[in-house]
Amino acid sequence: MRARWGLLALVAAVAVAENGLSGWLRYAPLPDGQRQQYASSLPSHIVALNSTSTSPVYTAGQELQDGIQRILGRKLKISQEHSAWTSFNSSFVLVGTLSAYDKLGSQNLSTDLVPDGFWLNIKGGAVTIVGQNGRGALYGAFEYLSRIAQGNFADADIVSNPDAPIRWVNEWDNMDGTIERGYAGRSIFFANGSVATDLTRVSQYARLLASVRINGIVVNNVNANPRMLTNETIAGLKRIADSMRPYGVRVGISLNFASPGPDGLKETATFDPLDPTVIAWWEAKTNQIYQQIPDWAGYLVKANSEGQPGPLTYNRTLADGANLFARALRPHGGIIMFRAFVYNSNMNPAVWKDDRANAAYDFFKELDGEFLDNVIVQIKYGPIDFQVREPASPLFAHLPNTNAAIELQITQEYLGQQDHLVYTPPLWKTILDFDMRVGGKPSLVRDIVSGQRFNRTLGGYAGVVNVGTNPNWLGSHLAMSNLYAYGRLAWDPTGDVQSLLQDWIRLTFGSEPSVVKVITDISMASWPAYENYTGNLGIQTLTDILYTHFGPCPQCQENRWGQWTRADKSTIGMDRTVSNGTGNSGQYPPEVAAVFENLETTPDNLLLWFHHVNYTHRLHSGKTVIQHFYDAHYDGAAAAQTFVPAWQSLQGKVDGARFDDVLFKLRFQAGHALVWRDAVAGYYYNLSGIADEASRVGHHPYRIEAESMALSGGYRPVAVDPFEAASNSTAIVVGSGPNNNGSGEAATVLDFPLGTYDIAVGYFDVAGGRAHYGAFLNGEPLHEWYGDLEDHLGHEFSTKLDAHSATRITIPNVDVKRGDVLKIIGLADGNEGAPLDYVAILPKGVVD
């Protein structure tokens, strides 16, 4: 049945395929001109002051050798001998730790290096890289390579120290090989209930992480399996730690709080954190781990949250719970990251004063000072859950006597699941640069988590990543900029997000100016666009939080999970004021609280986070709330359309494989941004009855609804639920059930003047079937395609007709005249009844 109309061209793969496996560490050869220009000022040897193959200094030597060879075409010899360096001329790269360097007696380094920090001195071909420790030496080597890979051969003398000691990633991998909120294939760490046998990808991942100065990883899901602590798994974890050690990445795991008890490994009668048998169990288990993995990083714990067990079960405090692990880890120098993501996920939206956003403060504020020194409270950046915009979590302001870390999400769970381009560092910056004004003094979130503001020695960053077996790690080439920038910001949160992005672009795609410009432009435009078409004014990402977290579902908000909008026919927004609402604004220190309490001083972009207002309320911009919704959705979706031609302008400047992959995703995003626009704008228009001043919402002059076409064969109209997911709330499908193999035809006579048009087809692509479509004009085939996005995209798929499965394709440049007959033939497959929503006949430049 496939290619039944013979239109699916077999395209030979011509360009050298780049699959993204090396990420930003491609070390592509510099152009010949540049290579020659610098040939005379290059190092001639590498001296790596450590010969142990598991040492990051050794790795640095190998990495320098490999990188320089690939970038500059010259293979340098490596020597590990301390004495060897004196016999070379001055033109060599020396890399080592501070103590090894001191032993050379060459010169005293007067710079202040803190752990992981490095000194990099470049004088022509004489390059000195000294790390405070081995990890720092490796980071310095990567910094040097990053410079020359970008064609930067300038002399330099820099000391670089980390802003915070904890710079970790959290993977949400399950032992069966699936990944919670993973959009890039299966786990690289686990398969079939055990640690994976082949850990090649794990060490490749460690290399990427080290290059952006990440020093720790938690390899399993926060919703943790007690079997992470069996002898067999610990032996597997040792192998993971061995694979990552040469890159200075220390390994830890998420714990299930009830692991020893009756619902876990059944080795104790309880999991009460104060019970002596439980304490002894965790001590012994921790000792066992350290015996096998002496540089073990520690633990991460999600307790009493979303159904996970925790100390509250026994009326113990969360601090009692955290300290249980802290005591077991302390003798070994390990740390415990204890998540502040604790809330009641059984709330009642009818209770006006209830608010999930209050939970972290309510649970943790009073515990300040009760956590041991090796506990770090890990706080999600906002009070709810990785939404497209949130204020900074108020909890950051209230733990002056506790170590704190910020949890960011590189995984785009609520931000398009790596099938929409969203460069997230500008969002993170709104939080990191936010001033809490604790005690009336400057108190930036970044200075709180670094430990500087409250004089804490521990603190930092945890980034949820969820890489998978997909060769390009995140399932999206462009999404890798988020991982790159995450590491760099964790090192230096004052970094400029656009220059970090451009470093990443040059390393990943080359330095051709138009390549740098286009990827910069679309990436920097992407978060504002996504916010515009998904959820404005602080209303959050208006997705279906009970299901996929992917597409729009503005009507799915008010449920027990607490991400509420409180929208009704005339009003919208959470009243979080102290005077009349949930009191959340009062959780901020007084200066900030005053700003958020007051409607007038609350910034427009957080208005509906803090206030419940009429749709006709006027913003500082002068627009009403509802008109802002409409305009923003149209603007955001329009911006997403521009990403496609912008990327297409790079054809021939980016290798074919990555060019095609990115283009496919951007086209999908352009179509799905329209699904978002129409669902959200349509929903609030329907609810409020307030017309769009520009008369766009609900008007689609270029569309022909599938249900109004002439239907034959098996096609019949169906009402789509939620109604806002389909144009005119109705689609057509063929047959029903799981083994659907019917077919149908939908035809229409076009009434458009002679011209060249783009023909867009709105349809649904559900999981579990690959329907086959053909479009014909006057009986001549125009295009054929399959409903097989699940084979090409990574987001969570829906099994129903809804706004997660709604999508569209565009057939460009079709010559049309009045009276032409457009026909779509649909062949059902599996449970996919070749669902069609509409066709749109679009004059050039029109988006409908």
Closer CB to ligand GCU, residue 119 or residue 341?
Answer: 341
537 residue type, one letter: L
Residue 341 in the binding site for ligand GCU (CB under 6 A):
yes
Angle at 765 between CA 759 and CA 768, to 5 degrees: 155
Q: How far is the CB of 306 from ligand GCU (least distance, A)?
A: 6
Residue 684 in the binding site for ligand GCU (CB under 6 A):
no
Q: How far is the CB of 180 from ligand GCU (least distance, A)?
A: 5
Q: How far apart are CA 675 and CA 807, in angstroms?
A: 7
Q: Which residues contact 49 (CB under 8 A, 6 or more apart)?
A: 57, 80, 82, 94, 95, 96, 97, 100, 101, 104
Site for ligand GCU in 526-545 (CB under 6 A): none
Q: How far is the CB of 461 from ligand GCU (least distance, A)?
A: 15
Closer CB to ligand GCU, residue 167 or residue 549?
Answer: 549
Residue 242 in the binding site for ligand GCU (CB under 6 A):
no
Q: How far is the CB of 434 from ligand GCU (least distance, A)?
A: 21
Q: How far is the CB of 590 from ligand GCU (least distance, A)?
A: 30
Question: Cis omega (within 30 of 0) on the bond before 645?
Answer: no
Site for ligand GCU in 566-625 (CB under 6 A): none
Q: 105: phi > 0 → left, psi -120 to 50 → alpha, else beta; which? A: left
Nearest to 489 by CA among 383, 400, 406, 394: 406
Site for ligand GCU in 300-329 (CB under 6 A): 302, 306
Sign of CA dihedral 664, 666, 668, 670: negative
Site string for ligand GCU, 405-434 (x = CB under 6 A): --------x---------------------
Q: Which residues contact 83 (CB under 8 A, 6 or more apart)?
A: none
Q: How far is the CB of 116 from ligand GCU (least distance, A)?
A: 27
Closer CB to ligand GCU, residue 181 or residue 566?
Answer: 181
Residue 222 in the binding site for ligand GCU (CB under 6 A):
yes
End-to-end CA distance of the chain: 33
Site for ligand GCU in 427-486 (CB under 6 A): none
- Nearest position to ligand GCU, beta carbon: 222
Closer CB to ligand GCU, residue 396 or residue 491?
Answer: 396
Write the DSSP assignment of 192-241 as a string of letters. Answer: TTEE-S--HHHHHHHHHHHHTT--EEE-S-SS--GGGGSHHHHHHHHHHH
| 3-class secondary structure, 281 | helix
Closer CB to ligand GCU, residue 341 or residue 491?
Answer: 341
611 contacts 577 by C-beta, under 8 angstroms: yes
Nearest to 706 by CA among 762, 752, 764: 762
Burial class of residue 453 in the structure, from the number of CB atoms within 10 Å of its CB (0-12 exposed, 13-18 middle, 19+ buried): buried
Q: Which of 35, 74, 82, 181 binds ligand GCU (CB under 6 A)?
A: 181
Q: Which of 66, 102, 176, 180 binds ligand GCU (CB under 6 A)?
A: 180
**Residues with catalytic roles:** 306, 385, 413
Q: Which of the 8 DSSP states describes residue 304? A: S
Residue 363 in the binding site for ligand GCU (CB under 6 A):
no
CB atoms under 10 Å from CB of 645, counted, come to 11
Q: Which of 116, 320, 385, 758 binds ligand GCU (CB under 6 A)?
A: 385
Burial class of residue 317 in the structure, from the number of CB atoms within 10 Å of its CB (0-12 exposed, 13-18 middle, 19+ buried): middle
Q: Which of 51, 152, 223, 520 binds ligand GCU (CB under 6 A)?
A: 223
Query: Buried b / exposed e across 43-52, counting CB within 10 Å, b at 16+?
Result: bebbbbbbee
Q: How far is the CB of 735 from ligand GCU (least distance, A)?
A: 34
C-alpha distances (whole Å) from 702 to each of 229, 696, 720, 761, 839 are 60, 12, 21, 12, 8
Closer CB to ligand GCU, residue 181 or residue 327?
Answer: 181
Closer CB to ligand GCU, residue 341 or residue 773?
Answer: 341
Binding residue count for ligand GCU, defined by CB under 6 A: 9
Distance of CA 195 to the CA centre of its chain: 24
Q: How far is the CB of 520 from ligand GCU (least distance, A)?
A: 31
Angle at 751 between CA 747 and CA 754, to 5 degrees: 115
Q: What length does the chain have?
A: 848
298 contacts 252 by C-beta, under 8 angstroms: yes
Closer CB to ligand GCU, residue 549 or residue 611?
Answer: 549
For strand 216-218 and strand 250-255, is the pairing parallel, antiparallel, or unpaired?
A: parallel
Site string for ligand GCU, 136-175 (x = CB under 6 A): ----------------------------------------
713 contacts 744 by C-beta, under 8 angstroms: yes
Q: How far is the CB of 509 from ligand GCU (least distance, A)?
A: 32
294 contacts 337 by C-beta, under 8 angstroms: no
Q: How far is the CB of 798 from ligand GCU (least distance, A)?
A: 16
Sign of CA dihedral 326, 330, 331, 332: positive
Q: How far is the CB of 380 from ligand GCU (least distance, A)?
A: 7
Q: How far is the CB of 375 from ligand GCU (least distance, A)?
A: 18
Residue 347 in the binding site for ligand GCU (CB under 6 A):
no
Closer CB to ligand GCU, residue 66 or residue 180?
Answer: 180
639 contacts 528 by C-beta, under 8 angstroms: yes
Q: Which of the 8 DSSP states describes residue 326? A: H
For strand 375-380 and strand 836-843, is the pairing parallel, antiparallel, or unpaired?
A: unpaired
C-alpha distances (whole Å) from 414 to each of 356, 608, 687, 700 are 17, 18, 24, 28
Closer CB to ligand GCU, residue 472 or residue 563?
Answer: 563
Closer CB to ligand GCU, residue 172 or residue 434?
Answer: 172
Residue 800 in the binding site for ligand GCU (CB under 6 A):
no
Closer CB to ligand GCU, residue 139 or residue 561?
Answer: 561
Burial class of residue 32 in the structure, from the number of CB atoms within 10 Å of its CB (0-12 exposed, 13-18 middle, 19+ buried): exposed
Q: Note the residues at the interface with ligand GCU (CB under 6 A).
A: 180-181, 222-223, 302, 306, 341, 385, 413
